[in-house]
Amino acid sequence: MKEYVCIICPRGCHLAVDEENDYAVTGNGCLRGAAYGREEAMHPTRIVTSSVRVRSRIHPRCPVKTDKAIAKSDIMKAMLLLDDVELSPPVRRGDVVIASLFGGEANFIATRDIDE
């Protein structure tokens, strides 16, 4: 049995997920909570946001994010990849900074325009 606090809405239901019983969820106030509990127990994922170096006159850092959620267990590995990145302006938000993380579908993309 794994326990979680649901984060779908501010109510914060306390969920219990039974891995030995087909990930059955109890304690949820609604169906969205059940879906969240299952996902969280089976393969938790997160969007990762950080920043990278940029050779700009005004901005020393350019913010980035993963455009899809990645496995929670990959977060620190993904962060290490950003250490070696240095961008040059112009940067447009949506520009791919690191493509296809760990061979998957998620990319790190820029989240800000940096003109010069």
Partner 1 sequence: MHDEYELIVIGGGPAGLGAALSAREHGLERILVVERDVQLGGILNQCIHNGFGLHYFGEELTGPEYAARLIDRLNGQAIDVLCDAMVLEIIPGENGHTLRLMSADCGYRTVGSQAIILAMGCRERTRGAIQIPGTRAAGIFTAGTAQRYVNIEGYMVGRRIIILGSGDIGLIMARRMVLEGATVVACVEIMPYPGGLTRNIVQCLQDFDIPLYLSHTITRIEGKQRVEKVIVQEVDDRFHPIDGTDIAFDVDTVLLSVGLIPENELSRAAGVEIDSKTSGPIVYENGETSVPGIFACGNVLHVHDLVDFVTTESEGAGKAAAEYVLRRIDVLEKRIYEKVSHDDVNLQSPSYDDPQKVACEAEHARASHDDVERSALIDDLSKKLVQGRSYCLSIVRDETISYTVPQRIRVQRVDKQVSVFFRVKNPQKMPKCIVFRDGERIVASFRRPYMMPGEMERVTLTREQLDDVCGNELLISVEEIR
| Residue 63 binds to partner 1 (criterion: CB under 8 A) | yes
Closest Cα partner for 108 from 60, 63, 45?
Answer: 63
Q: With respect to partner 1, which residue has the nearer C-beta, 26 or 111?
A: 111
Closest Cα partner for 46 from 67, 32, 62?
Answer: 67
Of 1, 12, 19, 42, the residue at the interface with partner 1 (CB under 8 A) is: 12
* Binding-site string for partner 1 from residue 69 to residue 98, where x marks contact by CB under 8 A and - marks none: ---x--xx--x-------------x-----
Q: With respect to partner 1, which residue has the nearer C-beta, 22 or 80?
A: 80
**Neighbouring residues of 23: CB distance < 8 A, sequence distance ≥ 6:** 17, 37, 38, 41, 42
Q: How far apart are CA 85 and CA 46, in angstroms?
A: 21
Q: How many residues bind partner 1 (CB under 8 A)?
A: 28
| Residue 10 binds to partner 1 (criterion: CB under 8 A) | yes
